[in-house]
Amino acid sequence: MGERDPAADRPRRVAFVVTRSDSVGGVQVCIHGLAVGLRAAGHEVEVFAGGDGPFAELCERDGVRVTRLRHMLREIDPLRDPRGLAELHRELQRFRPELISSHSTKAGWFARAVARQLGVANVYTAHGWAFGWQRGAKATIARGMEIVTAPLADCIITVSEHDRRKALDAGVGRPLQVLTVHNAVTELEPASAFRADPGKQPARIVSVARLEAPKEPLLLLDALGDLAERSPALDWELELIGDGPLRPAIEARLAQARGWGNRVHLLGTRDDVPQRLAQAQLFVLCSRHEGFPISNLEAMRAGLPVISSEVGGVDEAIDRGVNGELVPPGDRRAWTRVLGELLADPAARTRMGSAGRTAFETRFNFELHLRRTWSVYHQALERHLDRLG
């Protein structure tokens, strides 16, 4: 993937469109970083997000303008979706962008249609494909919508090679149109203040994830419960950072735990995640499907080893036995075994954490991501002009 310095090009008006503003997940972290980075490089940026919430507040705190879309909903709604499409058209027409960058499924469908109506270059970033994890009619509809709307995009970014292959195999996009730009995270300053000591005992495990599907916090608890029964002398604690509809079920499971429930701490949504990671010794992500999760990269930035479900493009960042371990999705016994091995081996945690930090510095830091993304944006602008020409 090529690189291009956004500060070297003339200022452009760039619109970012996303379905949800009520949470700050991987999609929102990506948009926030790009918006702040392009604004710092001299470009005019505005974010158009469905609803209100912490993401809109985060962007505005860092000087990025936000338009809140009242009718942009996550789920398909035949009654409100026409209003959502009209609202997005109206607001983008007001802003008069030269490039529209859309993220998340629903926003991607709407933004590509509006971009073609307005005659504006556009890039769609797929943070995973809905047709890859949904079943039945929903999967068929999602795949069909992606096939239909793909030609409306000048470029399509996938966050992993896994997702690029999945798109092309499904008939979504063309090989030269679909490009991979791996997710990345920003370095924190001073870096030493946010570095973990993974070899420290007893080990603190941290998971940062919204408590809802496709994440599987209950499977993680089951595996740790098995480990507590099998190896009662092994000392550990778990911090679950994030909130969501699975919280009551987690609380009920902990109430039933025999002798280990008090080792698990539900911290809810936090604004000090880097500090919590710096106090941890091991990071885990238990999930049924992912694109290219930013939470794993944040752990690597902190110098933590990562145990993650082997889904999506996770293995493009986590190298088994080098900077972490990969577990087959849904495999409770494998989770118990791998957790036990790393919790009992501080030297391995230290070695893997160091390798993860090196991978972050050389492959997944945000400055590289910004230049690579801007290179794709520049290609989209050129292709759009060629199409008009």
What does the pLDDT look like over 317-370, one tens digit per residue?
999 999 999 999 999 999 999 999 999 999 999 999 999 999 999 999 999 999
Residue 80, pLDDT > 90, answer no
Query: Helix (H, G, I), strand (E, B), or coil: what is residue 232?
Result: coil
SS3 category, 378: helix
**CATH topology match: 6-184+365-388 vs 191-363:** yes
Buried b (16+ CB within 10 A) or exposed e, 343-352: beebebbbbb
pLDDT of 237 higher than 80:
yes
pTM of the model: 0.88
Phi and psi torsions of 285, nearest 5°: -135, 110
Give the mean pLDDT of 106-120: 96
> CB of 259 within 8 A of CB of 244?
no
Q: What is the mean pLDDT of residues 114-118?
A: 97
pLDDT of residue 1: 65
Tokens of 345: 């081996």
Q: What is the pLDDT of residue 132?
A: 78
Domain ranges of the chain: 6-184+365-388, 191-363
Mean pLDDT for 107-122 is 96
Lowest mean pLDDT among 12-21, 288-297, 369-378: 288-297
Q: Could you check whether the bond before residue 54 is cis, i.e. omega within 30 degrees of 0? A: no
The pLDDT-based confidence of 73 (bands split at 50, 70, 90) is confident
* R_g over Cα of the chain: 21
Structural contact between residues 323 and 306, judged by C-beta atoms closer than 8 angstroms: yes
State residue 291's pLDDT score.
84
- CATH code assigned to 191-363: 3.40.50.2000
Arithmetic mean of pLDDT, 268-279: 95
Hey, what CATH topology would domain 6-184+365-388 get? Rossmann fold (3.40.50)
Q: Would you say the C-alpha torsion 308, 346, 254, 243 has a positive or negative sign?
A: negative
Work out the burial of residue 94: count CB atoms within 10 Å of its CB; fewer than 13 is exposed, 13-18 middle, 19 or more buried: exposed
Tens digits of residue pLDDT in 117-136 = 999 999 999 998 888 777 78
CB atoms within 10 A of CB 86: 13
